[in-house]
Amino acid sequence: MSDAAACCLAICLSIIVLPITLISLTLKTHNPKVSVEDLYIPAINVAAPSNATHLNTFVFIDLRLRNSMPLTGLRYEALNLSLFYGGDRSLAVAEGAVAGFYQGMKKTARKTAVLRTRGLPWEDAFDRISRGLTVDIAVEVAMAVKLRRWGVYRKRKVVVVAGVVSLDGSGEEVDEKVVRLN
């Protein structure tokens, strides 16, 4: 094979292989990145001036969802939230849902929810807080996501992510850092 033919072959292969590689890398799908921005349980806030907060059995949660895909939008069906007492996810204490929505390419969405607790062992939580310990709340988010590429909804994925948030005597997170759910 002559040098000209080898050079021509190399150029033709690079013209074919390079775009295929770039297209396959941009079309790779990723799960959305979900994190807990804020979690607050007023009932375990021992610094509150009255006992009225102990009657407040709601949980306030703020989620951040990030779509890192450059060419794909996401259509979320309802986000199902479950909170569990302790890190082992054996005792469910709150459940709720956030309405579905569309998230554009490379966009970040913030969703808040107010959940009513049920079955939370308040005595154990107050005991741990009064001893200066933290209360662990496991957060689980289950969602169905449809991928939208070039104006067409492609496939539906079911994604479940979870993580543990530690709360102190103020009813808020111990660390100011965002808790990423995996």
Residue spans per domain, the chain: 1-28, 31-181
- The DSSP output letter for 44 is G
Q: Of 57, 51, 118, whose CA–CA distance to 91 is shortest? A: 118
Hey, which CATH number is domain 31-181, 2.60.40.10, 3.40.50.2000, 3.40.50.1820, 3.40.50.620? 2.60.40.10
- Mean pLDDT of successive 10-residue segments in the chain (182 residues)? 80 80 70 94 78 72 94 94 87 93 96 90 85 92 93 90 92 86 91
The H-assigned helical ranges of the chain are 3-26, 52-55, 122-130
pLDDT of residue 90: 82
pLDDT at 67: 96
- Tokens 């969602």 correspond to 143
Torsion angle of the four alpha carbons 116, 117, 123, 126, in this order, in degrees rounded to the nearest 10: -60
Whether the CB-CB separation of 39 and 114 falls below 8 Å is answered with: no
